[in-house]
Structure 1
Amino acid sequence: MRAAVNQKIRINILRLSGLALLPAILVINPVFGLDGFGHETIESLGILLLLTGVLGRFWSILYVGGAKNRHVMRDGPYSMTRNPLYFFSTVAATGIGLMFGAVSLALLIGGTVGLVLWITARREAGFLSQRFGTEYDAYAARTPFFLPDPRLCRTGRTVRFDTTTLRRNLFDALVFLSFIPIVELVDQVKLSLDWSLLTLW
């Protein structure tokens, strides 16, 4: 039987991707400048996407909790997509890119995170299909793989959740939210140095 996906590999790939993008973030200036209305608008949209991603991750964790790979979750966000945690993580990552004021950077960061998570989700789907057989296959046949379909949303009146998993997700949320002051700090450094090697949309 196929083994469950090693999540540490996924996390390390995402961390290395983030480190590889760090130099680009420091030398790129958005085409709208760093202190104009256009930049502030794009940055605000990025914060909104970041918060949506963080809240969506919490919503997903409330449902799957410590039950991942133990049974087929079909309620709440899992009724709309088979991979809500990965979808909302991609939304948050795209928001981080927008917070730097460049749509192209948002597409690069969100696309990189989305691709890594999509590949991980594909491998997980193979494991879940082997483990749960027709139960998972029937769920997969009616539930979108990655992009949610809100029309499919259904849930019970109550949800039991695992507090340990929720605490771990709180740490992940703080990592995402730490980008709000980090982006502001990077913007201030760029403004004070008044230099850039590349301007992007």
Structure 2
Amino acid sequence: MKDLLMAVFGLYLVLASIKGRIWCMLYIGGRKTETLVVDGPYARSRNPLYYYSAMGVVGISFASGMLSIVAVMSLLFAASYPFVIWEEEKRLLSIHGERYRRYCEMVPRFWPRRDVRGENRRHEFVPSLFHKAFWDAVGFLVGWLLVAGTHFMHAIESLPRWMRFV
């Protein structure tokens, strides 16, 4: 029962990750450096793509049915991504200057704010970028399916013992 609950919760996180990553890509649409995007998900967090990626990684980890895997993957993500974020912030500050500095004062680095009201009722996007974002995000679902499927195969003893990695 615990494994099933963990898998379902992990799937929820993966689906939320997919939705969030597509939402982000519809706003940023390949213009991360040329335009300072401050609306939509970027009004809530300066790094919503990383936030939703973390959610996807944790969701895939939950499919293993092992809290130790969830903890290790969460720690690995938490240890590696701050460096990526800091480098990106330096680059954006050099491009956008004072406007980016003010944005940083108002919007949290990683954890999204909940107090943002609404968003634009209309927003243009590039369809080809939507399709790319969708297929990139679906990778999280594929990862969840592979881990959950492997875990299930082990549970019904359909895989050799030497293949036990989750």
Q: CA deviation at 1:154?
A: 4.3
> Using a 3 Å threshold, how does the CA distance of structure 1 residues 65 and 115 change in structure 2: closer, same or farther?
farther
> Using a 3 Å threshold, how does the CA distance of structure 1 residues 157 and 168 change in structure 2: closer, same or farther?
same
Runs of at least 4 residues of structure 1 off by over 6 A? Answer: none
Q: Distance in 1 between matches of 2:45 and 2:55?
A: 14
Aligned to 2:84: 120
The worse-fitting range, judged by mean Cα deviation, of 165-174 and 187-196 is 187-196
The 3-state SS of whatever aligns with 2:7 is helix
Aligned to 2:48: 84
Aligned to 1:73: 37
Aligned to 2:60: 96
The TM-score normalised by the length of structure 2 is 0.88
Aligned to 2:97: 133
The 3-state SS of whatever aligns with 1:164 is helix
Q: Distance in 1 between matches of 2:48 and 2:147?
A: 26
CA contact (8 A) 1:79 1:153 kept: no
Q: Structure 1 counterpart of 2:113, which letter?
A: D
CA contact (8 A) 2:25 2:133 kept: yes
Q: Distance in 2 between matches of 1:80 and 1:135?
A: 16
The TM-score normalised by the length of structure 1 is 0.74
Structure 1 unaligned segments of length 5 or more: list them.
Answer: 1-36
Q: CA deviation at 1:153?
A: 4.6
Aligned to 1:26: none
The worse-fitting range, judged by mean Cα deviation, of 113-122 and 40-49 is 113-122
Percent pairwise identity: 25
Structure 2 unaligned segments of length 5 or more: list them.
Answer: none
Q: CA deviation at 1:180?
A: 3.4
Aligned to 2:154: 190
CA contact (8 A) 1:53 1:92 kept: yes
Is 1:176 aligned to 2:156, yes or no? no
Q: Structure 2 counterpart of 1:91, which letter?
A: M
Q: CA deviation at 1:169?
A: 1.2
Q: CA deviation at 1:183?
A: 2.1
Q: Structure 1 counterpart of 2:62, which letter?
A: L
CA contact (8 A) 2:7 2:148 kept: no
CA contact (8 A) 2:63 2:151 kept: no
Q: What is the number of residues matched between the two proteins?
A: 164
Q: Structure 1 counterpart of 2:87, which letter?
A: R
